[in-house]
Structure 1
Amino acid sequence: MESNRRSIAKALSWRVLATIITTCLVYWLTGKGEFAATVGLADTLIKFALYFAHERIWNRIDYGRPKTEPEYSI
């Protein structure tokens, strides 16, 4: 299970790359820098929150994880 801190770090690193891609794409399509930056910022804020929630939900799901035996102590 990952910590909240690790999930945040992963989300941030991905969002930086994705924001650059989105901003460049919007600029390439429209030629408007301010508009591209606004779309990039909105995209980042929305998707960062959704990605973090998605990660936290998947941490509660056992699908695809190896099963472990419970530890018993005497």
Structure 2
Amino acid sequence: MADKHYRSVIKAISWRTVGTIDTMIVSYFITGDLVMAVSIGSIEVITKMFLYYLHERAWDKTNFGRVKVVENDYQI
């Protein structure tokens, strides 16, 4: 079973929300500047969402780690 493209987009958005909050918190602790932390988070949210989408679609094209479900060829 393959995922639809919109599933990958929604997963990318939800994961990036969590990741961006983390980036902003870490950036704030490092810089001590809230404006700089939000700026860093704003830039990385776009780039990483795009990269995640490409990564997800690439994994969808490979069968590595997938198990083929074999249905019974008879009925009882």
Q: How would you bin the TM-score normalised by the shorter chain?
A: 0.7 to 0.9
2:33 matches 1:32: yes
TM-score, normalised by the number of residues in structure 2: 0.84
When the two structures are aligned, how many residues end up with a matched partner?
69
C-alpha separation in 2, matches of 1:63 and 1:18: 26
C-alpha separation in 2, matches of 1:67 and 1:19: 36
Aligned alpha-carbon RMSD (Å): 1.1
| Residue number in structure 2 paired with 1:51 | 52
Which stretches in structure 1 are left out of the alignment for 5+ residues? 70-74
| Residue number in structure 1 paired with 2:9 | 8
C-alpha separation in 2, matches of 1:4 and 1:30: 37
| Residue number in structure 1 paired with 2:18 | 17
SS at match of 1:42: helix
Percentage of matched positions with identical amino acids: 36
TM-score, normalised by the number of residues in structure 1: 0.86
Which stretches in structure 2 are left out of the alignment for 5+ residues? 71-76
| Residue number in structure 2 paired with 1:66 | 67
Following TM superposition, by how much is the alpha carbon of 1:14 offset from its aligned partner in structure 2, in angstroms? 0.5
Instruction: Supply the AA of the counterpart residue of 2:42.
Output: L
